[in-house]
Structure 1
Amino acid sequence: MGPKIKFRKQKKYRSDVIATAQASGFILQFWNALLVGDDITVIGIIDDPEYAYLIDAIYDTSNIEEWKTFRFNYRGLRLWSLTYEQELTTPLHITAGRGFTECLRHLLVRGARVDLAPGGTTALHEACEECQPECAKLLLQYRAKANAANEDGQMPLHVCTELDSLECAKHLLAFGALINSQSLDENDTALHVAARRGLPDHVELYLRHGAALNLRNDEGNTPLNAACSQPQDRASLERYSRVCHMLVSAGADVEASDADNQTPLHMACKNVNPDVVDLLLQNKALVNEMDYGGEAPMHNILKVVAYKTDHEPERIVQALLNYGSIRVWPGALPKVLKYCCTSPRTIEVLFNAYDRLKITDAWVEAVPPEVFQKHRDFYESLFALSQTPRCLQHLARHRLRAFLEGRLHRVLPKLGLPTSLKNYIMLAFKDHMH
């Protein structure tokens, strides 16, 4: 005989009445039917008056050792498996989260309590979190509360965090979800969540429904700050770029700073998204704004070059310099070379912002032999400058850039220069130093 299963039996509105039932064949079949979406078995059991209470039964999975024993004892019968991790769960939660719409419908038709939340979350939260739009719609049709808060203070819109949850978000808004409702713990709006997760279609949807662009959460972040501050892998850069373009186009404040006085530009540099950096600079983000740690955007990008070489960090350094960013103190260049040497183009564009370079043996030692061999042509051209002054062409470029510092993007297009010359002045990459 297996261990006992603990259920909390709901009688009218008394949620504190607990019934303990033996692990009978009917109960096991019921829960197994829920797990696999067997609506015929579900109907057959809950239509039996003796087991009608199972519609709102609450299963307690907090005793993990009992779970393991139970799974082992009944493995041969294939009646149960340890697949559902929530400590307190109900038939509605299981069917809604797994997308078993017909099972869910049968439970609701027979009076299952749609907003029951024994583990602190409703079945609607579960459906949205697991990207089950048909189940979410069905629950809403049965008057599930679109703005119910879970134990973390999040409404269902706040748990629409995946690309595939878009239809869930649409259903929620259609059934009265408040677009600017803020989570109780973090004061996030749905737009904060969508921006942070890099969900462009969600952002577009929320903006159409009047989402507040510059509302701040507890960390002082607007949705634009939230998007820029989220770590991004190479594959997600384009999604975050689209999100930021939408927010800026809609009027987001590019200079809104968080609790540490970090602006979107600081964070876009830290997370190495070149397209977002270009967007922010084109929309007049301040290139030399300091955070409370005394660091400008240039400091943020140089700190992470070695870890994000595939994100094209050289493009960010180039853009910052062309918009008038502060440069590195010349005495610190060997240190920069040491930590950024795996990105030769970053070294090239940064060092081309100086009219002279005092190259010493310390510079050569800063580049590991394996890195030198991999980028031999470039580093040979760099170290050759220890015995040769910069060419006249470079010196002329440096002089013009110094004269137009901070105004290059406004003035250069008006000069009527050939494209190749404009690119040269804007520190186009040559993959060698001269």
Structure 2
Amino acid sequence: MSRGSSFYTPSTLRSLEQERHQMRLAAPVISGYLLRKEARERGTSTRQTVAEPPMVCRDLVVQNALYTGNLEAVKEVFSKGFPADLVIQPQGGAMRWVTDGKVRGLWSLTYEQELTTPLHITAGRGFTECLRHLLLRGAQVNLAPGGTTALHEACEECQPECAKLLLQYSANANAVNEDGQMPLHVCTELESLECAKHLIAFGAVINSHSLDENNTPLHVAARHGLPDHVDLYLRHGAALNLQNDEGNTPLNSACSQPQDHASLERYTRVCHLLVAAGADIHISDTDKQTPLHMACKNVNPDVVDLLLQHNSLVNEMDYGGEAPMHNILKGVAYKVDHEPERIVQALLNYGSIRVWPVALPKVLKYCCTSPRTIEALLNAYDRLKITDAWVEAVPPEVFQKHRKFYESLFALTQMPRSLQHLARHRLRTFLEGRLHRVVPNLDLPPYLKNYLMLAFKGYIH
């Protein structure tokens, strides 16, 4: 059974439904009129005993005042003597599992949503003055009827002023929500940086672990590509090489996260910060994948260059028997705009294993949309046995789009590689594993150095 799943018998489901029904009947659900009546009967006292449960409010007038941030309406509703610790139960469609007591069951649309409070609503929407009024009226700052605190809500929604106000009123900076996360763990957006600063200033534990995945805030910031958060946490003593339940360090987390083209630069900055601070680039996850495996899989050439420059092992195998070269070749077709050819070129220059020649037609089939990748890959061989299978591997539309390159490749069916290429191959073979150190120091023109390092020409010769 997978993690997070559970098994219920029909009788168990029926018992749970009955219990939930009884709890709903017992909840003190009251209208706006009855709330005001309750307030009058209590006089001016706003104090509640610990044992007294907060009242549940479905009054749309109250909800409208809170959700729109109408300060005057909030002040009028939550006047002196009126309880500020209401539990708001918004009305809306939600799916839940219903059983008829037999084996059968179905998902049914009900009108129950997660419980919230006036503090949560105003904190999450940035209504600072409304939030201040509620706090002055004695609202419990750490109340969490839906499993999360108002501070979590403010941080998750990137509302730094609300987060700071809650902390000033003694909100717990290390409160744990129903997902096992502290407020620092929900700072997952670029705009949440100020929230993170306030949390640390008010005592948030920098190396706190989430209960579900054992992540630290540094893991979270690295996984979401937040360089300023990473820099902040490192300056406050975040541990670099702690591993979560999947065996990932913060560096592994950054490298393993899927990245679109727009976010490549952010993740590169994160990795530079972590490596510069001393992150171990050789730690692998539970599948024995290193940061280099992951950076190749997600096609981030700048991170691959960084890891290779810091002596990452180019031929390390994971539990599936795959090296970083396998990972990049699998991702070429999906991320051509990420410049996968740069990664193939770099891996080969650092001594990566090559593709078994018999498998080259298959590689051509899946990577043909990136002719530069094919060029770098094929220039690592001194000879190529091109057959009809090679020609058939390239779709006509791809051939037409990159006609010059593929005409030069398929012309090799009738001629050998050039003498120039053979000389390059011989020298590369002699320097294998040392190319990246030796070639830059050779007394050769830049053109020849680039040629030795598989510079792209746009054709095969």
With the length of structure 1 as denominator, give the TM-score of the two structures. 0.90
Look up the match of 1:64.
93
Cα 1:360/1:139, change in 2 over 3 Å: same
**Contact 1:97 / 1:126 at 8 angstroms: preserved in 2?**
yes
Deviations 1:298-344 (A, max 9, x none): 00000111011010000000000000000000000000000100000
Cα 1:277/1:178, change in 2 over 3 Å: same
Work out the number of aligned pairs and report it: 406
Match of 1:240 among 249, 257, 267: 267
2:255 pairs with 1:228:
yes
Letter in 2 for 1:116: L
CA distance in 2, matches of 1:85, 1:408: 64
Look up the match of 1:364.
391
Letter in 1 for 2:62: F
Cα 1:7/1:263, change in 2 over 3 Å: farther
1:402 is paired with a residue whose SS is: helix
Deviation at 1:39, TM superposition (A): 1.2
Tell me whether 300-309 or 56-65 shows the greater mean CA deviation. Answer: 56-65
Deviation at 1:405, TM superposition (A): 0.5
**Contact 1:6 / 1:60 at 8 angstroms: preserved in 2?**
no
Tell me whether 32-41 or 196-205 shows the greater mean CA deviation. Answer: 32-41
Look up the match of 2:5.
none
Match of 2:344 among 306, 310, 317: 317
Match of 1:276 among 278, 284, 303: 303
Cα 1:91/1:341, change in 2 over 3 Å: same
**Contact 1:96 / 1:127 at 8 angstroms: preserved in 2?**
yes
Cα 1:7/1:200, change in 2 over 3 Å: farther
CA distance in 1, matches of 2:54, 2:313: 61
CA distance in 2, matches of 1:111, 1:328: 69
1:305 is paired with a residue whose SS is: helix
Letter in 1 for 2:48: K
CA distance in 2, matches of 1:156, 1:116: 14
Matches for 1:301-340 after TM superposition, within 5 Å = 301-340=328-367
Letter in 1 for 2:211: L
CA distance in 1, matches of 2:164, 2:222: 24
**Contact 1:37 / 1:103 at 8 angstroms: preserved in 2?**
yes
**Percent identity over the alignment?**
77
Look up the match of 1:77.
none
Letter in 2 for 1:418: P
Match of 1:199 among 190, 210, 226: 226
CA distance in 1, matches of 2:94, 2:400: 56
Letter in 1 for 2:419: L
What runs of 5+ residues in structure 1 fail to find an aligned partner?
A: 67-83
**Contact 1:6 / 1:59 at 8 angstroms: preserved in 2?**
no
Look up the match of 1:81.
none
Letter in 2 for 1:396: A
Matches for 1:86-235 after TM superposition, within 5 Å = 87-235=114-262
Look up the match of 1:393.
420
Match of 1:299 among 304, 319, 326: 326
**Contact 1:154 / 1:183 at 8 angstroms: preserved in 2?**
yes
CA distance in 2, matches of 1:108, 1:302: 57
CA distance in 2, matches of 1:207, 1:43: 42
Match of 1:35 among 45, 67, 92: 67
**Contact 2:289 / 2:318 at 8 angstroms: preserved in 1?**
yes
Deviation at 1:40, TM superposition (A): 1.3
**Contact 2:361 / 2:389 at 8 angstroms: preserved in 1?**
yes
Look up the match of 1:375.
402
**Contact 2:281 / 2:291 at 8 angstroms: preserved in 1?**
yes
Deviation at 1:46, TM superposition (A): 1.4
Deviation at 1:64, TM superposition (A): 3.0
Deviation at 1:18, TM superposition (A): 5.0
**Contact 1:195 / 1:203 at 8 angstroms: preserved in 2?**
yes
Matches for 1:411-430 after TM superposition, within 5 Å = 411-430=438-457
Letter in 1 for 2:359: A
Cα 1:184/1:263, change in 2 over 3 Å: same
Letter in 1 for 2:51: R
Cα 1:335/1:15, change in 2 over 3 Å: farther
Structure 1 residue ranges (4+ consecutive) displaced by more than 2 angstroms after TM superposition:
4-12, 14-19, 27-30, 60-66
Tell me whether 38-47 or 197-206 shows the greater mean CA deviation. Answer: 38-47
CA distance in 2, matches of 1:383, 1:65: 59
Deviation at 1:5, TM superposition (A): 9.8
What runs of 5+ residues in structure 2 fail to find an aligned partner?
A: 1-26, 36-46, 96-110
**Contact 2:80 / 2:137 at 8 angstroms: preserved in 1?**
no
CA distance in 1, matches of 2:162, 2:402: 56
**Contact 1:7 / 1:58 at 8 angstroms: preserved in 2?**
no
**Contact 2:222 / 2:254 at 8 angstroms: preserved in 1?**
yes
Tell me whether 10-19 or 354-363 shows the greater mean CA deviation. Answer: 10-19
CA distance in 2, matches of 1:339, 1:15: 65
2:48 pairs with 1:11:
yes
2:301 pairs with 1:264:
no
CA distance in 2, matches of 1:5, 1:18: 5
Deviations 1:24-50 (A, max 9, x none): xxx43322111111111111121153x
CA distance in 1, matches of 2:113, 2:136: 25
**Contact 1:338 / 1:367 at 8 angstroms: preserved in 2?**
yes
Deviations 1:367-424 (A, max 9, x none): 0000000000000000001111001110000000001001011111222111100000
**Contact 2:94 / 2:113 at 8 angstroms: preserved in 1?**
no
Letter in 1 for 2:162: C
Cα 1:191/1:86, change in 2 over 3 Å: farther
